[in-house]
Amino acid sequence: QVQLQESGPGLVKPSETLSLTCTVSGGSISGYHWSWIRQPPGKGLEYIGYIYYRGSTNYNPSLKSRVTISVDTSKNQFSLKLSSVTAADTAVYYCARRPTPSAYYFDYWGQGTLVTVSS
């Protein structure tokens, strides 16, 4: 059973960089695309971007200038960096697996981690 677990600081100051890591267990990170998705409190889901295990990426144009996603296959982990954060970036951040390259949907999700942007 594949499991994903997000980790990182729960509180980030405005203008700083949010950094999260997703650790994949019960399966290999190889062969798949891995995504970050967020959900502001009480609101809907927003797609951030993905990384293929070989390192290619694609980001939501609405966040592209501030997002970097990287992968470390030796640790079965991938990471998210979001720069210049504001209160609008306060959300639960999820990592998820896209099971097929032919369509965008997500079969395994992490439990999510709340990141609050506040001074």
The site for other proteins (CB under 8 A) is made up of 44-47, 49, 58, 60-62, 94, 96, 103-107, 109-112
Residue closer to other proteins, measured from CB, 102 or 119: 102
Cβ contact 17:83 at 8 Å: yes
Residue number with CB closer to other proteins (42 or 119)? 42
Closer CB to other proteins, residue 103 or residue 119?
103
From the CB of 95, what's the least distance to other proteins, in Å? 9
Q: Where is 116: in which H helix or E strand?
A: strand 113-117
Distant-in-sequence, close-in-space partners of 54: CB < 8 Å, separation ≥ 6: none
Instruction: Decide: 32 and 22 in contact? Cβ < 8 Å.
Output: no
